Amino acid sequence: MLGIVYYFEDSSKNVLSGTFDAAELWRETGKVFGVDTVIMIDCTTSDFGQRYKFMDGDMTFHRCASLDESLNIYPESEVILVETPLKCPLADTSEPVNLKDLAHPEGDTIYVFGPDSSGITNANRGQWIYFDLDYSIKGSTWSFVAAGIVLYDRMVKKE
Ligand SMILES: C[S@@+](CC[C@H](N)C(=O)[O-])C[C@H]1O[C@@H](n2cnc3c(N)ncnc32)[C@H](O)[C@@H]1O
């Protein structure tokens, strides 16, 4: 199983069109890298996230209310927490691993990408990783961009 967790926020809404572009972006980005399980943490304050229908029968979709709930679905899986070195995503403290040095897990793995409005906080398990950016410009990028970087790294290291 190769899974991704993403946060669906009020800022993810396409208010003008009422379409679910951000959720589709996650589905399609995952699919191209072989992701078979997509987990949405629905943070929207209306029923917008609830109305999203996942239409891909080849993939498994879960809608959760919290990170804990999402990680409890597959309790045996390895968890990779993708978060900048600026913000510790774990409830306890540990050092992050640079993506360059990461050996991606062989077994069932879930990659967690944080909310664009803040970041991952208080995860109870997982390996914290980050990737270098030019911090003189900006220390973080949008989470779906982070997903492309990390999943591409996984793909080429496994070739
Ligand atoms: C806009 S960032 C959130 C703000 C970020 N926590 C910060 O400290 O600036 C959205 C998400 O993209 C991912 N991300 C962005 N840049 C990253 C980096 N350099 N290393 C690891 N993850 C990154 C993380 O999952 C993060 O939660």
Query: Where do the structural domains in the chain lie, given as residue ranges?
Result: 2-158
Domain topology for 2-158:
Alpha/beta knot (3.40.1280)
Q: What is the pLDDT of residue 46?
A: 86
Distance 127 CA to ligand 1 centre (A): 15
* Global confidence as pTM: 0.96
Q: What residues are in contact with ligand 1 under a 6 Å CB criterion?
A: 82-84, 86-87, 113-114, 116, 119-120, 130-131, 133, 139-143, 146
**Residue 110, both tokens:** 């879930």
pLDDT along the chain (159 residues), means of 10: 96 80 95 98 91 95 97 98 91 89 98 95 95 81 95 96
Q: What is the pLDDT of residue 92?
A: 82
Q: What is the pLDDT of residue 20?
A: 86
Distance 8 CA to ligand 1 centre (A): 15
Q: What is the pLDDT of residue 55?
A: 94
CB distance 100 to 130 below 8 Å: no
